[in-house]
Structure 1
């Protein structure tokens, strides 16, 4: 496993994340009655974790509203009243998929999965042009975490990732001929819940 540039995987400072959910869940978290729980769906884009939209309460609200209004299952939780919950996140040791070394590590994990499952069919990303059900990506990401854990146990050299972060282009062209996507965003999956330093109610103004 490649370990060059590992000292730069730890991100300085905090980021603001926004989670789209049902109002009942959000109010319960704000009241200190519960913590958000990790998503473990087989199609999760960034693998297991507590999901946030980075710096975009508007995108979190769009997601919650879509989940409340569609018959399609886009989240396991039942959303009746769309709500946005803010969080202060320490990215910690971050698997940051805008970093070339992270992309290389993920490709190495794919090669391992492809070889290990050579006799069977690999999971597939499906669900239209945006590939909304990312079974392959989740399998590769979880394998990467498992490989890293194995190396860490053997040599103490590869600490586990606290968070996974990636930009996504989604939703087609923002305007005709555009290189921008209409639903472009950055997602964060928090694997170590201690990295969520606090929750807050976003101010709408």
Structure 2
């Protein structure tokens, strides 16, 4: 992985499930669009949307949830090793655009490496 502004930030991981570099390049250049996921694990959110629809509520445009995973960092911490937040955007009109993190320009100071 190239050294980017985002790769230097401890604890911050930006990921796009199921997207390799060729997909990223095509979407950013406008040669392709993102397609709806067909992964089995996505069915959980679809069940929730089905229940919502049957209850007569409008569909969700997007949902966000925290996932508590891994061992506790220390007893009583309330945080685990692999806690993370995921977002599911069901309405593509809610995506206003895409961006690609740029590489760090080493001719300038890296704000993530500055000392206090």
Normalising by structure 1, report the TM-score.
Answer: 0.38
Given the alignment of the two structures, is residue 184 of structure 1 paired with residue 101 of structure 2, yes or no? no
| Residue of structure 1 equivalent to 2:92 | 193
CA RMSD of aligned residues (A): 2.2
The Cα shift of 1:204 comes to 4.7
What residue number does 1:36 align with?
34
Q: Any idea what SS the aligned residue of 1:197 has?
A: coil
- Structure index of larger Rg: 2
**1:149 counterpart residue number:** 53
As a proportion of its length, which structure holds more strand?
A: 1
Q: Distance in 1 between matches of 2:70 and 2:36?
A: 25
1:148 Cα shift?
Answer: 2.4
The SS at the match of 1:188 is strand
Structure 1 residues 185 and 171: alpha-carbon distance in aligned structure 2, compared to 1, 3 A threshold = same
Q: CA deviation at 1:41?
A: 2.0
Q: Out of 23, 26, 32, which is 1:25 matched to? A: 23
Shift of 1:38: 2.1
TM-score scaled by length of structure 2: 0.63
Q: Which runs of 5+ in 1 are unaligned?
A: 1-16, 48-137, 153-157
The size of the alignment, in residue pairs, is: 89
Q: 1:37 to 1:29 in 2, by over 3 A?
A: same
CA distance in 1, matches of 2:37, 2:24: 16
Whole-angstrom CA distance in 2 between matches of 1:189 and 1:168: 13
Give, in angstroms, the shift of residue 25 of structure 1. 0.9
